Amino acid sequence: MSIPLFGAGTFRLQGQAVIDSVRNALEVGYRAIDTAQIYANEAEIGQAIASAGVPREQLFITTKIWVANYAKDKLIPSLKESLAKLRIDYLDLTLIHWPAPGNGVSVEEFMTALAEAKQQGLTRQIGISNFNIENVAQAIAVLGKDLIATNQIELSPYLQNRKLVAFLKEQGIHVTSYMTLAYGKVLQDPVIVALARRHDATPAQVALAWALQLGYSVIPSSTRRENLASNLLAQQLRLGEDDMAQIAALERNGREVSPAGLAPAWD
């Protein structure tokens, strides 16, 4: 089974905003939707999906297990609750949201519980999010690398995570990039803006095309229908070797998300 290269993210979108965003995304052609238990928007996403009328088999829905639900007696019940909110019978992909070192639940315990959720048919694929190399190695030691479909990580032209990405590729674990636009910061970057002008594209399309050409999945979000539609066109943009090299030179370890107590020691 494969992971779609393009999806709609829903981080920080709640209430009517997330309902409208998901509805618009599905109407303009998205079929992958990414959420998480901590986003507190699964019920609204379920409402939007139900009203859209898109056949379930055409959709790819991802959620992430929150830290409070990592224990073996909590993970599966929490996932069943997510399914009820989303109004679906199974997830296409379920991720451990953060490694949360020192929270009292071992990698072995939560990865084993996640694998059990897959065995029960609650989710088609399983994976991890925000794991560093050491965390990934620990997860592989528990389940083997073949069961880990992806590591969803912050990754943008300003934070290219080359060491971690190289390790994931060695292990055959797919990379999903979130925050690919760095909260919009890369959209004002002179290099990105110049490339956008040269290709008659938007800066967002350039940044997303860069990630796609490196083989990553992307999950940008927007509350604006026109931006959702425009972002999708990044799939048709081809950047040349020189373009890719210019973007590669933008690396500056520009991490936007690193919550204390949840994040690992980054590579």
Please tell me the distance from the alpha carbon of residue 129 to that of residue 168, in angstroms, as a whole number: 12
Q: Determine which one of 30, 39, 70, 178 is catalytic.
A: 39
Which residues, 6 or more positions from 238, have their beta carbon under 8 angstroms from its beta carbon? 209, 213
CB neighbours (10 Å) of residue 1?
8
Query: How far is residue 209's CA from residue 238's CA, in Å, rounded to a whole number?
Result: 7
User: Which token pair is 229?
Assistant: 């539609």
Annotated active-site residue 39? The verdict is yes
Beta-bridge partner residues of 251: none
Q: How far apart are alpha carbons 172 and 211 in whole angstroms?
A: 17
To the question of whether residue 97 is assigned a binding role by annotation, the answer is yes
Binding residues are 97
Which of the residues are catalytic? 39
Binding residues for substrate are 97
